[in-house]
């Protein structure tokens, strides 16, 4: 039996010797490589936090001491040490989640994987412990250096340093990368700490001291000019700005030295007040393919060969992201006003290709979606046309800025939302299911949902040509799939994909749901029900021809992969009533609930959004005479 197999909970670590802990760390890394290679997942980040997580669980008493991971993709080692060692169905239905999940274990506190929130959680939890007299309980927040680029981190830090009577430990896991190399002034400062000669000499001298003293040697821990005040002052060169901050600082600590890590945490624990422990780690540690991956050091992988790190995905079909990436380069080559902006996700959103061609016209603002949106408004005012590319789930964080900074000022900014709709294995916090409902309430916004690669290119070009307000282009995760040409296009840009000789059902497909709608039409035809299928292309505002086509049908069914509460179907219903059209409307979409991790296909079946299910429901409505008859369709289509 391996050492790892004997660890059923954190207290099993207590009796292990130094040599056994080193062996355990090696076994954990081997376990991660072999298992994540089979299922896919976040490999690089977890290889980098092995010793740190072991030290955390030896020094602190989870779950009595609350551990918060920012972000949760670096919690795999935590799962292993808290008794969850069946990774065979990681990120699959019924298996372990890819992030902390309360239903899995009492050791998991915060489920959301949106970055830069851990310090606010830690602030609140530690205040609650203090207010309820639980002064022997600690809160440990693990925050990556990339999360320090998020404004919420600094809002929390401002409040944490206002009250020093709490047992709160902040571990800054500094590996110089979030998804990719961390950017900005803070990153540059941390890099000088990480690479300066004094740090290397300090570490080596401390290890010599350890050998002589029989203990870890306090010399390894050194404040930077008197704590965080000096730490931040050296970063900003502005002593006055941070003069009121008062928090202990330990570091930098070698994050892969178990003895040094453990001693640093014990020292932090003993302060009885907020402490920052600055630990320097290597993302992808111990796995050479990850270390050689300059792009993101195997931040997130699909199925791979564990020996070589080569992907086992043989698909040659282009992804939505790659189509967008190539089109941005093409558009930027002919339009010098285009600027790309992303929030610490240059490669995941595809903007890296534009950055390679036009480096001066691509901005990575770090994990700061709010800043990205407002900065884009400023760029638009200055004569540029920014394209802000983020995951759909992360646009939620910048809603106020889209509303008040971009839309109110009629700024020509295009937001490109990758991973829209059901994303699958990443679970509740990563489904991009709220964007349609949230953004359509923004006055003057125009929102497009391409059904295939051709329409993505087409609609992106149309979006960046708009300079009097915000535009949005959203598309899902994965391959673009089959293309569907329209039978005709109306004057206001609606594509009629299938036109029925009868006026029974009008299927309004949002984006990639077009393929489902066409299959529904085929199934209905077999039952004698005629269905017209349209793709509005631009779903907000609702094109006039959608209203006119609806007027001539007995039933309108909207199909979208966003939440149906306040979704596009609701907007169509309201606009129909406003135009005096009495055609019945059925809105199909995602339920207003958090959807657990599973494959996209499993989720779509569960919520009834497969073609056979939709066709069956529509047929049942006609069979039950729940659909009124209407007159012949009108010729006018806007």
Give 505 or 115, the one with higher predicted confidence: 505
User: What are the residue boundaries of the structural domains of the chain, listed by start?
Assistant: 4-291, 320-474, 488-623
The binding site for thiamine diphosphate consists of 73, 113-115, 146-147, 175, 287, 369
pLDDT in tens, 27-74: 999 999 999 999 998 898 899 999 999 999 999 999 999 999 987 889
For residue 176, what pLDDT band results from cuts at 50, 70 and 90?
low
Residue 208 has pLDDT above 90, yes or no: no
Residue 249 has pLDDT above 90, yes or no: no
Kind and range of the H or E run holding 30: helix 18-39
% of the chain surpassing 70 pLDDT: 86
Q: Is 201 one of the catalytic residues?
A: no
pTM: predicted TM-score of the whole model, two decimal places: 0.85
Residue 498 has pLDDT above 50, yes or no: yes
Q: Does domain 320-474 have CATH number 3.40.50.970?
A: yes
CA distances (Å), 352 to each of 43, 150, 291, 317, 358, in order?
21, 21, 20, 20, 10
Find the range with the poorest average confidence among 16-20, 21-25, 110-114: 110-114
Q: Is 283 one of the catalytic residues?
A: yes
The CATH superfamily of 4-291 is Thiamin diphosphate (ThDP)-binding fold, Pyr/PP domains (3.40.50.970)
Select which of 397, 537, 551, 571 is catalytic.
397
For residues 126 and 128, what is the distance between their CA atoms, to the nearest angstrom? Answer: 5
The binding site consists of 73, 113-115, 145-147, 175, 287, 369
pLDDT in tens, 395-408: 999 999 999 999 99
State the average pLDDT over residues 601-616.
Answer: 94
Q: Write down the H helix ranges in 141-181.
A: 151-160
Cβ-contact 638, 492 below 8 angstroms: yes
pLDDT in tens, 234-248: 433 333 333 345 688
Distance of CA 71 to the CA centre of its chain: 10
Select which of 51, 369, 548, 560 is catalytic.
369
Q: Say if 320-474 and 488-623 have the same CATH topology.
A: yes
Return the structure tokens found at 533: 């299928």
For residues 98 and 46, what is the distance between their CA atoms, to the nearest angstrom? Answer: 11
pLDDT in tens, 367-393: 899 999 999 999 999 999 999 999 999
The binding site for Mg(2+) consists of 145, 175
Cβ-contact 507, 517 below 8 angstroms: yes
Per-range mean pLDDT, top range of 208-217, 250-259, 537-546:
537-546
Q: Is 459 one of the catalytic residues?
A: no
Find the range with the poorest average confidence among 223-227, 428-432, 532-536, 631-635: 223-227
Q: Does domain 488-623 have CATH number 3.40.50.920?
A: yes
Residue 230 has pLDDT above 60, yes or no: no
């Amino acid at each position: 039996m391996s050492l790892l197999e004997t660890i059923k909970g954190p207290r099993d670590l207590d009796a292990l010797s130094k040599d056994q802990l080193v062996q355990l760390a090696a076994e954990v890394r081997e376990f991660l490589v072999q298992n994540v290679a089979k299922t896919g997942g976040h490999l690089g980040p977890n290889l980098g936090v092995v010793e740190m997580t072991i030290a955390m669980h030896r020094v602190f008493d989870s779950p009595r001491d609350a551990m918060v991971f920012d972000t949760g993709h670096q919690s795999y080692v935590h799962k292993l040490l808290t008794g969850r060692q069946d990774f065979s169905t990681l990120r699959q239905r019924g298996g372990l989640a890819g992030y902390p999940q309360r239903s899995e274990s009492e050791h998991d506190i915060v489920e959301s994987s949106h970055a830069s929130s851990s310090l606010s959680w830690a602030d609140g939890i530690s205040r609650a412990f203090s207010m309820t007299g639980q002064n022997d309980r600690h809160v440990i927040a693990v925050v990556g250096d990339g999360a320090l680029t998020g404004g919420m981190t600094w809002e929390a830090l401002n409040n944490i340093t206002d009250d020093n009577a709490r047992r709160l430990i902040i571990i800054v896991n500094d590996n110089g990368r979030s998804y990719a190399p961390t950017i900005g002034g803070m990153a540059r400062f941390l890099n000088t700490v990480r690479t300066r000669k004094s740090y290397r000499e300090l570490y080596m001298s401390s290890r010599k001291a350890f050998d002589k003293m029989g203990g870890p040697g306090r010399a390894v821990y050194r404040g930077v000019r008197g704590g965080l005040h000096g730490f931040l002052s050296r970063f900003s060169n502005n002593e006055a700005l941070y003069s009121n901050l008062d928090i202990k600082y330990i570091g930098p600590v070698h994050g892969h030295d178990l003895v040094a890590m453990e001693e640093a945490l014990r020292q932090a624990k003993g302060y009885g007040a907020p402490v920052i422990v600055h630990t320097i780690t290597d993302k992808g540690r111990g796995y050479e393919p990850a270390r050689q991956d300059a792009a993101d050091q195997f931040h997130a992988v699909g199925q791979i060969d564990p020996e070589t790190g080569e992907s086992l995905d043989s698909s040659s079909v282009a992804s939505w992201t790659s189509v967008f990436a190539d089109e941005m380069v093409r558009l930027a080559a002919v339009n010098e006003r285009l600027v790309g902006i992303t929030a610490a996700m240059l490669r995941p959103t595809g903007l890296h290709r534009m950055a390679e061609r036009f480096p001066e016209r691509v901005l990575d603002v770090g994990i700061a979606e709010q800043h990205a949106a407002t900065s884009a408004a400023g760029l638009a005012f200055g004569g540029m046309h920014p394209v802000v590319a983020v995951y759909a789930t992360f646009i939620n964080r910048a809603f106020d800025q889209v509303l008040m900074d971009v839309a109110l000022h009629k700024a020509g900014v295009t937001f490109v939302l990758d991973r829209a709709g059901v994303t699958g294995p990443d679970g509740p916090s990563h489904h991009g299911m709220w964007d349609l409902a949230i953004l359509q309430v923004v006055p003057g916004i125009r929102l497009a949902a391409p059904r295939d690669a051709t329409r993505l290119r087409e609609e992106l070009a149309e979006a960046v040509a708009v300079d009097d307000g915000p535009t949005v282009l959203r598309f899902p995760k994965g391959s673009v799939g089959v293309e569907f040409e329209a039978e005709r296009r109306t004057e206001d840009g609606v594509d009629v994909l299938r036109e029925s000789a009868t006026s029974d059902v009008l299927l309004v497909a949002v984006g990639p749901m077009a393929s489902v709608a066409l299959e529904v039409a085929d199934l209905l035809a077999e039952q004698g029900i005629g269905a017209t299928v349209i793709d509005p292309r631009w779903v907000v505002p609702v094109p006039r021809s959608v209203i006119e086509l609806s007027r001539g049908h007995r039933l309108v069914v909207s199909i979208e992969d966003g939440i149906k509460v306040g979704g596009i179907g609701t907007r169509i219903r309201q606009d129909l009533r406003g135009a005096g059209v009495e055609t019945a409307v059925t809105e199909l979409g995602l339920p207003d609930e958090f959807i657990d991790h599973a494959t996209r296909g499993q989720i779509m079946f569960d919520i009834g959004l497969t073609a056979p299910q939709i066709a069956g429901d529509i047929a049942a409505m006609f069979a039950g005479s729940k659909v009124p008859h209407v007159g012949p369709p009108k010729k006018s289509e806007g």
